[in-house]
Amino acid sequence: NAGVMQNPRHLVRRRGQEARLRCSPMKGHSHVYWYRQLPEEGLKFMVYLQKENIIDESGMPKERFSAEFPKEGPSILRIQQVVRGDSAAYFCASSLFEGGMNTEAFFGQGTRLTVV
Amino acid sequence: ELKVEQNPLFLSMQEGKNYTIYCNYSTTSDRLYWYRQDPGKSLESLFVLLSNGAVKQEGRLMASLDTKARLSTLHITAAVHDLSATYFCAVDLSGGGADGLTFGKGTHLIIQP
């Protein structure tokens, strides 16, 4: 059973380009979370998704950022018109919903985005 | 707004010594996680503490939770070089999953021979 898979592991984009980050949850997990980690900081929550549904996007910047988790395929975090301040490590986590609650979430290895 | 503070943020210690990392938080919660992160890697779950007075041990690491004091500790016994990493505590307000996790800034631990 593979863990949470993120790709690419490293992504370099020029200012103004778009960045697409992918996350495949653990097998059987239906809930996905995205976090951002700035250098020397802890992780900050961005968005929580179920299949075809955004549950909580309170941590997402209002502009340029969007996330989806389609019925088929990985979850995508999309950043349009990237700026240098978007450079960070983006982590995805997934969990199972069981017995009316979420189980412990497991994190992927992250995508390190560098905007040049 | 929940605040999670770890201290120290940087710690350099010698092999064989003992030390404790502290995690204070500002809002009532009875679920707290400790993670380890190696450079360029993901977070590895070390401990999940689910109730007041919970104590868990794995090898040279021991974690405890005092929900009344809103304090968790991660104690390192007879440190070895392999334990060099960044350690994060995360407080969970949502009762599971990862949408309610608020992380501390991390403790960068360097263990020297």
Q: How far apart are CA A88 and CA A38, in angstroms?
A: 5
State the best of A44, A102, A112 to mutate against chain B, taking most chain B CBs within 10 Å. A102
The average pLDDT across B90-100 equals 77
Nearest-CA distance B38 → chain A (Å): 11
B88 touches A43 (CB < 8 A): yes
Nearest residue on chain A to B100, alpha-carbon basis: A45
Sorted by sequence, the CB contacts under 8 Å of residue B28 that are 6+ apart come out as B67, B70
Nearest residue on chain A to B41, alpha-carbon basis: A109
| pLDDT for the residue numbered B95 | 67
| pLDDT for the residue numbered B94 | 73
Task: Write out pLDDT tens, residues A52-62.
Answer: 999 999 999 99
Per DSSP, B95 falls in state S
Q: Between B48, B97, B105, which is nearest A41 by CB? A: B105
Whether B102 and A103 lie within 8 Å, measured CB to CB: no
Q: How far apart are CA A104 and CA A39, in angstroms?
A: 25
State which amino acid sits at residue A22.
R
Sorted by sequence, the CB contacts under 8 Å of residue A63 that are 6+ apart come out as none
The structure tokens listed for B5 are 């503070």
Whether B102 and A48 lie within 8 Å, measured CB to CB: no
Whether A55 and B99 lie within 8 Å, measured CB to CB: yes
On the question of a cis peptide bond just before residue B8, with omega within 30 degrees of 0, the verdict is yes
Residue A44: exposure state from Cβ atoms within 10 A (0-12, 13-18, ≥19): middle
Closest CA to A36 of A110, A116, A115, A114: A110
Closest CA to B88 of B2, B22, B27, B15: B22
Nearest-CA distance A52 → chain B (Å): 17
Instruction: Report whether pLDDT(A7) > 70.
Output: yes
Task: Write out pLDDT tens, residues B26-69.
Answer: 988 878 999 999 988 888 999 999 888 889 999 999 999 999 99
Task: Write out pLDDT tens, residues A99-108.
Answer: 767 678 899 9
Task: Write out pLDDT tens, residues A9-42.
Answer: 999 999 999 999 999 999 989 899 999 998 878 8
Instruction: Report whether pLDDT(A1) > 70.
Output: no
Q: Between A44, A56, A101, which is nearest B96 by CB? A: A101
CA terminus-to-terminus distance, chain A? 36
Whether A42 and B105 lie within 8 Å, measured CB to CB: yes
The percentage of residues in chain B with a pLDDT greater than 70, rounded to a whole number, is 96
Task: Write out pLDDT tens, residues A64-109.
Answer: 999 999 999 999 999 999 999 999 999 999 988 777 676 788 999 9
**Mean of the per-residue pLDDT values for chain A?**
92
State the best of B5, B31, B42 to mutate against chain A, taking most chain A CBs within 10 Å. B42
Cα A56-A107-B106 angle, rounded to 5 deg: 90
Whether A102 and B48 lie within 8 Å, measured CB to CB: no
